[in-house]
Amino acid sequence: MAVQQPAGPDPYFPDNGDARYRVHRYELVLDYRPGPNRLSGTARINAIAGPAPLAEFQLNLADFRIGRVRVDGRQPHYTHRGGRLRVRPAKPLRAGAAFTVEVHWSGNPGPVPSPWGGLGFEELADGALVASQPVGAPSWYPCNDRPADKASYLLSVTAPSAYAVVSGGRLLTRTTKASTTTWVYEQSAPTSSYLVGLAIGRLQTVLLGDPGPGGVPQHGHIPAQLLPRFSRDFARQPAMMELFQELFGPYPFDEYAVVVTEEDLDVPVEAQGLSLFGSNHVDGARGSERLVAHELAHQWFGNSVSIADWRHIWLNEGFAKYAEWLWSERSGGRGAQQLAAAAHRSLAGLPQDLRLADPGRRSMFDDRLYERGGLTVHAVRCALGDDAFFRMLRDWVRLHRNGSVTTGAFAEHVARFADEPPAGLFEAWVYGTALPPLPVLGDRP
């Protein structure tokens, strides 16, 4: 596993995260009441100081009331302003020392502001949903909010018994006591803070296909009235799972779940081991099947293999976009070459001022990044040929499982699978802005 953690603040979100330490594990104990939208929580955070002594550090946390903060059991000095919990331990922490932070907080959770609207914890008409990409995690728990700082999670959530609680990872226990039920989930694989998903609602649970011996358990959690449409729209997800394991390597987590809310969502959102869809994404006619493939592919590209910082987001979205095309190609739809040609035509009529390698914060979710990212992956496939291309993909996922990567690391990786260096490919597609000619499968020198 290769982990590439940037030494300084994220260039797009300098107020989020703290590179002076890393977190090993979060243990979160939450109590949520949907009616008053009331959340109270305790976090136990096991962390390791960086290569320099740590006189202070910060966690990101929205505007909650802080009940208590402890560092290794002792009361530190702390301030909590502007979404940052600044902590100064009673004694500076030694370089490389393991330490534990405990935080108690409570309040009425809501989305945190961003250039794309509110992100993170959202109260629904009857329940709640967490979709945090890229900086919404502090809306509901204290965290070192940087994508490369990946940790394991133990998440315990107590809610009224009429509500199901769904998170990524393995459900360890579900315990009912009087009118409440406590759900405990374990996500043992290292997870970025923004990829901790949560849904609380009146949901029915269904099994998606029979995983069989050694298979991946897949479940859907859906409002009862949407189940007939869901059953058709997600019927081919088990086949997607089989295909993506063939193309990308073994599924990187223990289980996979999808949640559909009663409300519409602008776009589906990935979390680790979990994807979140709106009611508008189930129509009973597989109208959003490409998005089902897209979110599933993120489990490999973005979740298991994560980005070192947000400049490299095309490595998440370009691969997920190309996975849509591969699913279409292998399931009787249009081939990847046809879909690449359509994307190329679309991009040709749009401004050509976006640089994949560093799109800037305002453009990191621009549709052009997704389409050009998919085209770049297609260009790599055309340059390598299918055999080398899919070997390259599987090796990329294997080498960087549970780690974080950069655009430069991917370019170096691709070069190792080319008969000759793919001259100019990355310069044109990733570091340049002008749209290169359409790459064509089989069009190799």
What is each CA distance from 443 to 230, 411, 413, 434, in whole angstroms? 40, 20, 22, 21
Length of the chain equals: 445
Pairing type for strands 269-271 and 274-277 reads antiparallel
Mean pLDDT of 368-389: 97
Amino acid code (one letter) for 45: I
Q: What percent of the chain has pLDDT over 70?
A: 98
312 is in an annotated binding site: no
Burial class, 263, CB count within 10 angstroms (exposed 0-12 / middle 13-18 / buried 19+):
middle
Domain 1-194 matching CATH 3.40.50.2300: the answer reads: no
Mean pLDDT of 39-50: 98
Is 246 one of the annotated active-site residues of the chain? no
Q: What percent of the chain has pLDDT over 90?
A: 94
Amino acid 55: pLDDT: 97
Amino acid 5: pLDDT: 52
Each domain of the chain, given as residue ranges in start order, spans: 1-194, 203-300, 306-431
- 1 has pLDDT over 70: no
Q: How far apart are CA 289 and CA 235, in angstroms?
A: 10
* Residue showing tokens 């570091």: 431
Q: How far apart are CA 219 and CA 343, in angstroms?
A: 32
What is each CA distance from 239 to 47, 191, 243, 330, 389, in whole angstroms? 39, 26, 6, 10, 22
- 3 has pLDDT over 60: no
Burial class, 8, CB count within 10 angstroms (exposed 0-12 / middle 13-18 / buried 19+):
exposed
Please state which CATH class domain 203-300 belongs to: alpha beta
Q: Which of 380, 370, 372 is nearest to 411 (CA)?
A: 380
Choice among 26, 122, 370, 371 that is catalytic: 370
* Residue 442 pLDDT level (bands cut at 50, 70, 90): confident
- 10 has pLDDT over 70: yes
Amino acid 211: pLDDT: 84
Tokens of 89: 């331990």
- 213 has pLDDT over 90: no
Q: What angle do CA 439, 440, 443 make, to 5 degrees?
A: 115
Tokens of 11: 């260039």
φ, ψ for residue 287 (rounded to 5)? -70, -20
Q: How far apart are CA 275 and CA 255, in angstroms?
A: 12
344 is in an annotated binding site: no
What CATH number was assigned to the domain covering residues 306-431? Answer: 1.10.390.10
Choice among 270, 295, 324, 371 that is catalytic: 295
- 445 has pLDDT over 60: no
For residue 3, give the DSSP letter: B
298 is in an annotated binding site: yes
Q: How many CB atoms lie within 10 A of CB 424?
A: 11
Amino acid 4: pLDDT: 47
134 preceded by cis ω (within 30°)? yes
What lies within 8 Å, CB to CB, of 412 at 6+ separation is none
Q: What is the pLDDT of residues 360-371, one digit of tens each?
A: 999 999 999 999
User: Across the chain, what does the average pLDDT equal?
Assistant: 95
Is 185 one of the annotated active-site residues of the chain? no
Global confidence as pTM: 0.96
Q: What is the pLDDT of residues 53-107, one digit of tens each?
A: 999 999 999 999 999 999 999 999 999 999 999 999 999 999 999 999 999 999 9
Q: How far apart are CA 429 and CA 383, in angstroms?
A: 13
- 2 has pLDDT over 70: no
Mean pLDDT of 299-303: 98
Pairing type for strands 151-160 and 21-33 reads parallel
87 three-state secondary structure: strand
Amino acid 443: pLDDT: 61
Q: How many CB atoms lie within 10 A of CB 416?
A: 9
- 8 has pLDDT over 80: no
Amino acid 322: pLDDT: 98
What is the torsional sign of CA 104, 132, 273, 249? negative
Q: Which of 236, 232, 237, 230 is nearest to 277 (CA)?
A: 230
φ, ψ for residue 357 (rounded to 5)? -65, -20
Residue 9 C-alpha from the chain's centroid: 20
- 6 has pLDDT over 70: no
Pairing type for strands 77-81 and 65-71 reads unpaired
Q: What is the pLDDT of residues 332-352, one digit of tens each?
A: 999 999 999 999 999 999 999
Helices 289-297 and 314-330, packing angle to 10 deg: 130
